[in-house]
Amino acid sequence: MEKEHIIVGNWKMYKTEQETVEFLQTLAPLVAAVNARVYLAVPFTSIPTAVKVTEKTNIVIGAQNMNDATKGAFTGEIAGIMLKASGAEFVILGHSERRELFKEDDDFINRKVIRALKDDLQPILCIGETLDERELGKTEEVLARQLQKGLKKVSMEDVEKIIIAYEPVWAIGTGKTATPELAQEAHRFIRQTLGTLFSGKESKISLLYGGSVKPDNAALLLSQKDINGALVGGASLDPKSFADIINAC
Ligand code: PGA
């Protein structure tokens, strides 16, 4: 069974509202006829405008983070219901930059996953090992823990809505892509673990690879059996290179 590929751009802290409009006007015609789902996680300030500009296109707009509360005294945070009201349809959760730089742990990320589902936002849960963990032979232990804790209390019904992104931390923004074989092996393990946690659902969950995905390595990564798409950082900032990755599907 062939799953439709999902290509997600993660802009991180790049692009003003005006730059977002220019980017989308260039991207939309380049990907209008593709055989893949195109997602773009833009900065909060660009969401309403991006939603408006992409109204009649196949591009889906989402966010890069949210809090697990619906409101309250949390200076600088944003709630899922606010994202939803601004037109976002999905949210990236547990990105390694959030885990490392902002000390987010598996329990906090799990609460966000649960909240996002309640708020009708599709969660993209990011997992992945660091270089140290890989060299110590702990990759599978780390992935299993991040899945088990990150998906705690998710129902059998809801788990199908979740997208899992495998991003080896050593491959993010470094130009060091995992080889297709290594990526496939991790994805196979993730699918098997999902089967243990949510028996029968593992084939219904989309698994994305992330970490230095570029136009020249996308096709090979995307052709791997358990890889259903890509989470793209740096290369999603340029409409031409992002479109080339999407067209590699
Ligand atoms: P990269 O980032 O493509 O620049 O490595 C991927 C990510 O952080 O999601």
Q: What tens digit of pLDDT does each residue of 56-75 get? A: 999 999 999 999 999 999 99
Q: Answer whether 0.85 is exceeded by the pTM.
A: yes
Question: Quick check: 168 and 184 in contact, CB under 8 A?
Answer: no
Instruction: Give yes or no: 187 in active site.
Output: no
**Looking at residue 2, what is its pLDDT?**
66
Question: Quick check: 210 and 232 in contact, CB under 8 A?
Answer: yes
Rounded to an integer, the average pLDDT of 84-111 is: 98
Give the CA-trace dihedral at 34, 242, 46, 67, to 10 degrees: 90
Q: Which atom of ligand 1 is nearest to the CA of 165?
A: 9
Number of domains in the chain: 1
**What CATH number corresponds to the domain at position 111?**
3.20.20.70
* CB half-sphere exposure, 74, CA atoms < 13 A: 10
Annotate 23-74 with DSSP letters as a single string: HHHHHHHHHTT-SEEEEEE--GGGHHHHHHHTTTSSEEEEES---SSSSSS-
Domain extent, residue 176, equals 5-247
Q: What is the pLDDT of residues 186-226, one digit of tens each?
A: 999 999 999 999 999 999 999 999 999 999 999 999 999 99
- Round to whole Å and give the CA distance between 195 and 175: 32
Question: Quick check: 87 and 49 in contact, CB under 8 A?
Answer: no
Q: Which atom of ligand 1 is nearest to the CA of 12?
A: 8
